[in-house]
Amino acid sequence: IRTIMAQCRRSLGDNAGALAELTEHLPISIDARGQRHPEVLTIRTIMAQCRRSLGDNAGALAELTEHLPISIDVFGERHPEVLAIRTMMAQCRMGLGDSAGALAELTEHLPISIDVLGERHPEVLTIRTIMAQCRRNLGDNAGALAELTKHLPISIDARGSHHPSTQLIHIVMAGCMLDLGDSSGAVREIEGIRNGLVSAGLLPEHELFRELENVEGRLAI
């Protein structure tokens, strides 16, 4: 129950609160279940997610790098939990400025995830979004925008138009449009996004608000 509560806090944007709760909860879980129990491994993964969302990409990557071989040993190489860890590690690398390395890792990782989870699984959709972000960071705004334009209707169909991950696609697309000189397109892309995030109950510290504010700042909204 405590793990689920922390996941709920994280999904709303309270990563600091979730991390504090899990930091207190982890030693109790280890004592009750042991270091290699699936629940303990899940707690460690969520803690790394919280750290990444709070901007500590280096700390999250170090934790996941230590955590990965244990998870592979417990779950197996192709288990969804292991696939999610690999996605997060690439996301941390992107956050640390290594978009080329992250893109190379995800390009190798994507077909395995599709084979295990299916083309429309949320994890696969997340991988495609991160790959587009990497392309944008590397200067390929046209390639990133083309990928996201193709990817957006699948995300809407699979997760809904108001899902945070779908909203992120709109925000990244707006950033690409701005970099390509299409300010009016960027404005149309993020229209209503802020109200949607508030309506979804996301807290102001949620990382999506930071992403949106970066675009709004460039548009002087």
pLDDT, one tens digit per residue, over 89-147 is 999 999 999 999 999 999 999 999 999 999 999 999 999 999 999 999 999 999 999 99
The token duo for 33 is 């279940």
pLDDT greater than 80 at residue 16: yes
Q: Identify the pLDDT of residue 88.
A: 97
What is the rounded average pLDDT of the residues 142-158?
95
| Residues 46 and 52 sit within 8 Å (Cβ to Cβ) | no
pLDDT greater than 80 at residue 221: no
Q: Identify the pLDDT of residue 55.
A: 95
CA 213 to chain CA mean position, Å: 18
Whole-angstrom distance, CA of residue 144 vs CA of residue 136: 6
Q: Where are the alpha helices (DSSP H) in 34-98?
A: 38-53, 57-75, 80-95
The model's pLDDT over 171-203, given as tens digits with 9 standing for 90+, comes to 999 999 999 999 999 999 999 899 889 888 888
The model's pLDDT over 26-44, given as tens digits with 9 standing for 90+, comes to 999 999 999 999 999 999 9
